[in-house]
Amino acid sequence: MVSGRFISLEGGEGVGKSTQLRALAAALAERGVESVVTREPGGSAGAEAIRNLLMEGSDDRWDARSEALLFAAARADHVGRAIRPALARGAWVLCDRFVDSSRAYQGGGGGITDAEIMALHGFGSLGLLPDRTFLLTVSPAEAARRLSLRDAAGTDRMGSKPADYQARLAARFAEMAAGEPGRWRVIDADAPADAVTAAILAELAGWLP
């Protein structure tokens, strides 16, 4: 019996997902709710090993199909060893990206069909989807500003994708959110971080103690 809640945060590079995950975990702790903050690719020992393969190297290290298979394998381990056990004990799982990122990056950005990605997800992770997915959006100018700050510390393969890829990515995320309004909520992340956190918590109010 699953009694916890599974929340994912999605969006392009530089939208502030990590900042919001930390804030959400703190807000849940104040309410006496256990949370598990995790990420994709990663979140379990096997998935973290695959993450190293995915996130390092040149932009053309993997083609879209190879990436999709690696992400699906990492996700299967993550779901089986971390996400489902946490949900079963009543914890909230707060995840930085999930299968929707594969649908956007390898789908909208890489040309793999949604049906192909979801078929891999159905096999590897038994089709698990978040209870609520938040799409954090920022203006192109703000995204560029944040990425320029990140560049000082080095950018991984995903952050180094070209501008046309980033545009396709944003369009695909918006398309998914519009197509599944029951699960998705779109949050303007150009706002100050505390305002973004408040907007997310407002959307979760019905589930909070």
Q: Chunked in runs of 10, what are the mean pLDDT values of the chain (209 residues)? A: 83 91 97 96 97 87 90 98 96 98 81 93 98 94 71 53 74 95 97 97 94
Q: What phi and psi, each to the nearest 5 degrees, are found at residue 205?
A: -55, -40
pTM for the whole thing?
A: 0.90
- Cα gap 178→181, rounded to integer Å: 6
Give the pLDDT score at 160.
55
Query: Which residues have a Cβ under 8 Å from the Cβ of 82 and sit 6 or more positions away?
Result: 36, 38, 43, 44, 93
**What pLDDT shows up at residue 161?**
61
Q: What is the three-state SS of the chain?
A: CCCCCEEEEECCCCCCHHHHHHHHHHHHHHCCCCEEEEECCCCCHHHHHHHHHHHCCCCCCCCHHHHHHHHHHHHHHHHHHHHHHHHHCCCEEEEECCHHHHHHHHHHCCCCCHHHHHHHHHHHHCCCCCCEEEEEECCHHHHHHHHHHHHCCCCCCCCCCCHHHHHHHHHHHHHHHHHCCCCEEEEECCCCHHHHHHHHHHHHHHHCC
- For the chain, domain boundaries: 6-207
CATH of 6-207, one of 3.40.50.300, 3.40.50.2300, 3.40.50.920, 1.10.3720.10: 3.40.50.300
The pLDDT assigned to 109 comes to 61
Dihedral of alpha carbons 194, 198, 204, 209, sign? positive
- Identify whether the C-beta of residue 189 lies closer than 8 Å to the C-beta of residue 120: no
